[in-house]
């Protein structure tokens, strides 16, 4: 006796169809599971490759940022040295101007100007009688101390302007490098 004999005759085609559908369903389910596993592995591999590419790109970006930061720090260091040099020159120029102003104010130093010998013939300014001069006893006129102070202040502003200009030029040269 076979299994088919146990099934009543009118239900046999249905039973056979049900068995065949069960076998086909099991095969489809098995292939579905296998495809899911293979597709999952392929997606995992693709995600890993994408992560590797992103990691390489991020490392390259970090490397570029580190290089740029090193350049910026080096530039800041050079600019700091330039600023210190500029400040030192400006401070020295101010000290020299103050020293000159103090000497003018205490009458330790008198500013004078050379007068053309032809134009000085009608002037009653006496010739300098010192032996240590380089003008060979040229006719000189002393400046009023207040005028001398103004001249020193004007030249001091010019000196400060030149020092500031040199500092600006050095700054631009450093930036261009």
Query: Cα–Cα distance between 170 and 176 in angstroms, integer?
Result: 10
The predicted structure's pLDDT at residue 82 = 83
The answer to whether residue 161 scores a pLDDT higher than 90 is no
The answer to the question of residue 56 being in a domain is yes
Residues 104-130: tens digit of each pLDDT: 777 666 777 777 766 655 555 555 445
Query: Cα–Cα distance between 56 and 59 in angstroms, integer?
Result: 5
The answer to the question of residue 91 being in a domain is yes
Q: Is this structure's pTM higher than 0.85?
A: no
The predicted structure's pLDDT at residue 159 = 81
The answer to the question of residue 2 being in a domain is no
The answer to the question of residue 89 being in a domain is yes
The answer to the question of residue 39 being in a domain is yes
Of the listed ranges 4-18, 29-43, 90-104, the least confidently predicted one is: 90-104
Domain count, the chain: 1
The answer to the question of residue 49 being in a domain is yes
Q: Spell out a b/e string for 69-106, using b for 16 or more CB atoms within 10 Å of the CB, else e.
A: eeeeeeeeebeeebeeebeebeeebeeebeebbeebee
């Amino acid at each position: 006796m076979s299994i088919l004999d146990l099934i009543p005759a009118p239900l046999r085609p249905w039973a056979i169809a049900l068995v065949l559908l069960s076998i086909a369903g099991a095969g489809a389910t098995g292939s579905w599971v296998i495809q899911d596993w293979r597709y999952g592995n392929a997606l995992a591999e693709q995600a890993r490759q994408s992560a590797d590419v992103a990691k390489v790109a991020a490392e390259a970006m970090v490397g570029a940022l580190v290089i740029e930061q090193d350049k910026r720090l080096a530039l800041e260091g050079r600019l700091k040295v330039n600023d210190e040099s500029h400040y030192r020159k400006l401070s020295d120029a101010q000290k020299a101007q103050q020293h000159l102003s103090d000497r003018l104010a205490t009458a330790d130093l008198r500013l004078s100007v050379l007068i053309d010998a032809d134009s000085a013939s009608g002037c009653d300014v006496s010739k300098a009688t010192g032996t240590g001069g380089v003008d060979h006893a040229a006719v000189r006129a002393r400046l009023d101390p207040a005028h001398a102070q103004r001249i020193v202040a004007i030249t001091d502003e010019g000196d400060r302007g030149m020092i500031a200009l040199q500092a600006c030029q050095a700054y631009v040269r450093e930036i261009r490098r």
